[in-house]
Each structure stands twice: as structure tokens, then as C-alpha cells.
Amino acid sequence: MTYKAHSNRYSKLNYRRCGNSGLQLPPITLGLWHNFGGKSKMLNESKKMLFRAFDRGVTHFDLANNYGPPYGSAESNFGKVMNTDFKKYRDELIISTKAGYDMWPGPYGEWGSKKYLTASLDQSLKRMKLDYVDIFYSHRFDPLTPLEETADALAQSIRSGKALYVGISSYSSKQTIKMNKLLKQRGVNCLIHQPSYSMINRWIEKDLIQTLKKLGIGCIAFSPLAQGMLSDKYLKKIPKVSRVADNSSLDMKLITKKYLNNLKNLIKIAKKREQTLPQMALSWVLRHPTMTSALIGARTVKQLDDCLDSQNNLGFSKTELKEIDKFAIDQNINLWSQSSSY
């Protein structure tokens, strides 16, 4: 049976303008980093999540060349949906992809060279069965490639019609300022920055969020739930189905007594707000006016719905924020810190 989108899908979310651009994004974006790859046992559930997200007003789907596993499989699986159920809705969707991390063997399969970024975008378009992506990102800063070359590649993606906008991910404030200037010199604006950010990973508060506001660049926070650490998932034991158990991107050493104590207190605050902790954590990330969207991952439609319901209570009192700050302490979990250290 062919999918038909819900008729009142645009009445459910308040869209946010992305920096100084004309583009508006949903406050919640669905990411396909996990659970959409070729090895996933959840492909049927994944498809249901895509449909449910769009039915609830989520128009933005975030991918990267190496999302899977195996590499490329998330884009390939998404491409099957784009070529069928989502095909007639293409003009209502914002599709993002990225290149920067390891993708194929040899010296041209990662980082920020023009050779790699151009080839990767071409491959992504083929996998997703698209003529263009809406946003193409430099996925990480490359300390060995001149930033001018990376900027050339991003600008070329727009001039060639293969991307409508460009962005960067995990760049420091200093390198963001440089890239913004280089892109403007090439007649292109940097639309958006995608850093990791959550209650327990607060590195962007030092200067990056202020820089983005000053430059008029939008911000989309990835890992706003700290890969599940901002939920009750790890309160009693390590679930068999989790990123810690999978040893995929979270180390068991992060589940400390201090973390668990802070977690319990944050859950109490969330309950007073009549929210789950994931809902409060998403509302908290979106409290910044500069924050355009929070990028979530989900394993089930139920998890997706829980995250989207965060939009029912976005406001915080000064007292609540002060209480949260007592327990929303940086846990040293920024796995992408090397990229933003230059």
C-alpha cells in the first residue's frame, strides 16, 4: 500500500528560521545515523518512523555518506523510500548529507579535499536517488587540507546544482569564522553548523553559540540526548539493546555513580514539568534562540513520538534552569572534540 501523508502535518510544529536565511526547519530533525543501515534488523520499523515523522511535521532528514553499517547503507535504504513513498513529497522535504569521515580505502576516501567531497556527494546522490540535496556538510574540520579547498568544494556543490545550501559540523568557533568568510568570498553563505550539544556535553556554550548568532548561521544540535544517556535507560542496568551494550559509540565507563546520581535528579525535575527526561533535554537544547533544530535518533515509533511531544512544553523558568544547572554537568563525552580542537 502506497504511503499517503497526513493532511494536517503542518499544524503540529512551529518551524524555526535557520540563521539569517529564508529556510525554516522543524524544531526536531530525524537523523539516520543508527537503525537505518543495511545490517539493521529494524528496516520495517525504520520506514514506519520516517512516515510517522513526516505525518507529525518533521520535514528534515539528516544523513551522511558513511551512516550504516555498512557505509552508505542508510542512504541506500532512504533512497528506496525517496524513490517510492516519498517521491511525490520531494519539494516538501529537506534532505541533508555530509562527507568528512572514513568512507572508502585510499587517500581520497576521507577528510576535506575537493576530490573526496565532490566524489562523495556524487555517490550520495546516486544512493539516495536524488538530483540534489538540500544541505551538504563538511562533516569535520581537516587540519591537513587548506580550508580554502574545502570551501571551494562546498561552493562548487551549490554552483553545480547538487546542493541548495552548505553547512559545517564540529568546527571550532575560530574555524567557523574562517569558513564563513571563505564561503562569502565565493558568493555562498554558510547556512548551518551541526555541533554535538546536550545537558552533559556543553562545549558550544564557551563561544560557538555566540559566534553563530553573530554570523547569522543556524545551529542544529546532534546527540541532544547524549546517545541515550539522558533517559532512564541506564538507571538500573545496561540494556541488551543499547549503544553501550553494542559497544558502538558509547563506553561503559561513562556510566558512573556521579552520572547516575545527576540523572536521577534531572528525572525528578522533568517529572515536575510533566515531561520525560528526553523531552526536557530536547526542550532545554531548544531554549537557545540561535538553536534551529535538535537532531534525534530513534529505535521505535514510540521513542520518536516521545521526543516530538517535547514540543508541548518548551518554556523554562529561571528557577528551573538554575536547578537543572546543578545536575547538567559536562560528562566529558564529546566524541567529536578533536575536530573542534583546531
Question: Whole-angstrom Cα distance, residue 145 to residue 264?
Answer: 45
Decide if 190 contacts 158 (C-beta within 8 A): no
Residue 121 lies in a domain: yes
**Bond preceding residue 143 cis, omega within 30 of 0:** no
Decide if 46 contacts 311 (C-beta within 8 A): no
Query: How many domains does the structure of the chain reveal?
Result: 1
Phi, psi of 198 (to 5 degrees): -160, 180
Residue 102 lies in a domain: yes
320-to-228, 245, 261, 274, 284 alpha-carbon distances in Å: 22, 33, 18, 13, 10
Residue 288: closest CA among 340, 217, 236: 217
Q: Is 198 exposed, middle or buried (0-12, 13-18, 19+ CB in 10 A)?
A: buried
Residue 46 lies in a domain: yes
- CATH no. for residue 155? 3.20.20.100
Helix H segments across 242-317? Answer: 243-246, 257-272, 277-285, 301-308
Question: Whole-angstrom Cα distance, residue 338 to residue 200?
Answer: 18
Residues pairing with 192 in the sheet: 167, 218
Looking at residue 35, what is its pLDDT? 85
Question: Whole-angstrom Cα distance, residue 322 to residue 317?
Answer: 9
Residue 88 lies in a domain: yes
Residue 194 lies in a domain: yes
Per-residue pLDDT of the chain (342 residues; tens, 9 = 90+): 789 999 999 998 999 999 999 999 999 999 999 889 886 666 789 999 999 999 999 999 999 999 999 999 999 999 999 999 999 999 999 999 999 999 999 999 999 999 999 999 999 999 999 999 999 999 999 999 999 999 999 999 999 999 999 999 999 999 999 999 999 999 999 999 999 999 999 999 999 999 999 999 999 999 999 999 999 988 876 655 545 545 555 667 888 899 999 999 999 999 999 999 999 999 999 999 999 999 999 999 999 999 999 999 999 999 999 999 999 999 888 888 999 998
* Residue that the C-alpha cell 540563521 belongs to: 19
Residues pairing with 133 in the sheet: 163
Fill in the amino acid letter for 105. P
Decide if 72 contacts 127 (C-beta within 8 A): yes
Decide if 85 contacts 92 (C-beta within 8 A): no
Looking at residue 150, what is its pLDDT? 98
Question: Whole-angstrom Cα distance, residue 242 to residue 224?
Answer: 16
* Cell numbers describing residue 79: 533512497
User: E strands of the chain, at which residues?
Assistant: 16-17, 24-25, 28-31, 60-62, 94-99, 133-138, 163-169, 190-194, 218-222, 291-296
Q: How far apart are the first and last CA of the chain?
A: 51
Residue 327 lies in a domain: no
Phi, psi of 26 (to 5 degrees): -70, 150
Looking at residue 249, what is its pLDDT? 58
Question: Whole-angstrom Cα distance, residue 140 to residue 338?
Answer: 9
Residue 23 lies in a domain: yes
Question: Whole-angstrom Cα distance, residue 46 to residue 48?
Answer: 5
Domain that holds residue 110: 9-228+279-316
Residue 271 lies in a domain: no
Question: Whole-angstrom Cα distance, residue 176 to residue 193?
Answer: 8
Q: How does DSSP assign 163-198, residue by residue?
A: EEEEEEES--HHHHHHHHHHHHHTT--EEEEE-B-B
Decide if 59 contacts 6 (C-beta within 8 A): no
